[in-house]
Structure 1
Amino acid sequence: MKIVSTNIGEQKKINWKGKEVFTGIFKYKVGKPIFLDKEEVKGDTICNRENHGGILQAVYGYSLKHYDYFKKLYPDLNFEMGIFGENLTIDDLDETKIHQGDTFKVGETILEATVQRDPCYKLGIRFNNMKIVKQFWNTTFCGVYFKVIQIGFVKDGDIFEQIKSCPQNPTIANLYVVAKRTATFE
């Protein structure tokens, strides 16, 4: 696995059902190294600290291979890197093969896979179509949140070198399937 794009976003105000809400889901390729800190990516906006950021969700990675599936569903949409709200677009991130606790050396950092990303209405806002939320849930293409064990910079082209494997733990996809059973859709 390797990073194909580093992505960050600024706070954006949107109208949702007559209310103003703020989001950081509008992330775009920056084409330069980004600093992964203990609870966040420096320079990236996190508006909902209850569900994003923090020790267990400091960095969000998503697979470029998953883009192909959604491009078929949304052929007229401009699929820019970061469209899923990810900080790291990774060439071949497979949630069915990554276990909770698996650890990787990436650039200057060490990252540990922690949990899945559960979609919310803000993904629908980014896609300008609320159908994406259920379509996202109906796959195992959830992406992976990472804990930052060692802070530092990562950049496009950096390789994920696995340094710890935890096959006794559930895969990220298994965690996602369990979360899906209790999900409510807005």
Structure 2
Amino acid sequence: MTGRLAAVNLAVVTEAEWAGDPSGRTGIDKRPVAGPVLLRVDGVAGDFIGERAHHGGPDQAVYAYAEEDADWWSAELGRGVRPGGFGENLTTYAVDVTGAVIGEQWAIGDALLQVTKPRTPCTTFAGFWGMPDLIKRFTARATPGAYLRVLREGEVGAGDPVEVVTRPEHGVTIGQVFRAMSLEPELLPRLLDAPELPEPIREKARRRLSGSRP
């Protein structure tokens, strides 16, 4: 089965007390759009990011979440989870996002993307869902979705195939990085095998392995 984009989602700017940005605005509420959307090196054209201290930038230009993982949450919570409900720009179908290897490249539409790191749940996410225990539950589930760099800018749209064109041999996956940093510290040495992993995460892994505090 060929992977594809189920939806491309852009932010509806929301003002809320739980928004992490000092302005009180957040772009976590993303909704499907019709037609192609331009993916740029610095982010998704037409999107909104409120808390830029922790979101956005080249290593987090695009966020992808799997429709299959959203379906699990829908069944778990007994409520529908629409595309964009995790704050993702790209909702994928038949793509192993948790098993994606750090540094692997995806060709979608005119764009070329590179898998960089897992998403870390935050209080804004919990506030948006109205679930104070969401961070704990999201961490335990360990299907965090993937951030991507934009190696070649281009337009993408719902229905576009998602093709993995290269995959590094080190085999370090999104799921392994997430579990290493949150649940299974015994996996930390594996993170140093992935040169494509953003340096702040590699440095944090080195500090934890050496026993020093951040």
- Give TM-score scaled by structure 2 length: 0.79
The CA distance in 1 between the partners of 2:103 and 2:169, in whole Å, is 9
1:97, CA displacement in angstroms? 2.4
Q: Which letter does structure 2 place at the counterpart of 1:51?
A: H
Deviations 1:154-175 (A, max 9, x none): 0011111111111314101111
Which residue of structure 2 lines up, in the alignment, with residue 156 of structure 1?
158
Q: 1:62 aligns with which of 57, 65, 75?
A: 65
- Work out whether residues 98 and 145 of structure 2, in 8 Å CA contact, stay in contact via their aligned partners in 1: no
Higher relative contact order (CA 8 A, sep 6+): 1
Mapped contact 1:28–1:83 kept (Cα < 8 A): yes
Q: Distance in 2 between matches of 1:124 and 1:32?
A: 30
Q: Which residue does the alignment assign to 1:47?
A: 50
Which among 100, 103, 107 is matched to residue 102 of structure 2?
100
Can you list the C-alpha shifts for 1:94-130, whole angstroms capped at 9, x where unaligned? 2442111001111000000000001101111221112
More helix by share: 2
* C-alpha displacement of 1:46: 0.6
Mean Cα deviation higher: 42-51 or 87-96: 87-96
Structure 2 counterpart SS, 1:138? helix
Task: Decide whether the 8 Å contact of 2:111 with 2:155 is kept in 1.
Answer: yes
SS at the partner of 1:71?
A: helix
Deviation at 1:33, TM superposition (A): 1.3
> What are the residue-to-residue correspondences of 1:1-186 with 2, within 5 Å?
1-16=3-18, 21-75=24-78, 77-181=79-183
Q: CA deviation at 1:12?
A: 1.5
Distance 1:153 1:95 in 2: 20
Please, which moves more after superposition, 88-97 or 50-59? 88-97
After the TM superposition, which segments of 4 or more aligned residues of structure 1 sit over 6 Å from their partners? none
The answer to whether the Cα contact below 8 Å between 1:111 and 1:150 also exists between their aligned partners in 2 is yes
**8 A contact 1:95–1:140 mirrored in 2:** no
Give the conservation status (yes or no) of the 8 Å contact 1:105–1:162: yes
Shift, 1:31, TM fit: 2.2
SS at match of 1:160: strand
Q: What is the distance in 2 between the residues matched to 1:11 and 1:62?
A: 20
Distance in 2 of aligned mates of 1:39 and 1:102: 19
| SS state at 2:169 partner | coil
Q: For residues 72 and 167 of structure 1, do their structure 2 counterparts lie closer, same or farther at Cα, with a shift above 3 Å needed?
A: same
CA displacement, residues 5-61 of structure 1 (integer Å, 9 cap, x when unaligned): 0000132110139x8722110101112211100011010001112222111110000
> SS at 1:125's partner residue?
helix
Secondary structure of 1:142's aligned partner: coil
**What's the CA shift string for 1:57-110, capped at 9, x where partnerless?**
1000000000121112321x3422100000000013324421110011110000
In structure 1, distance between residues paired with 2:95 and 2:53: 25
Structure 2 letter corresponding to 1:85:
G
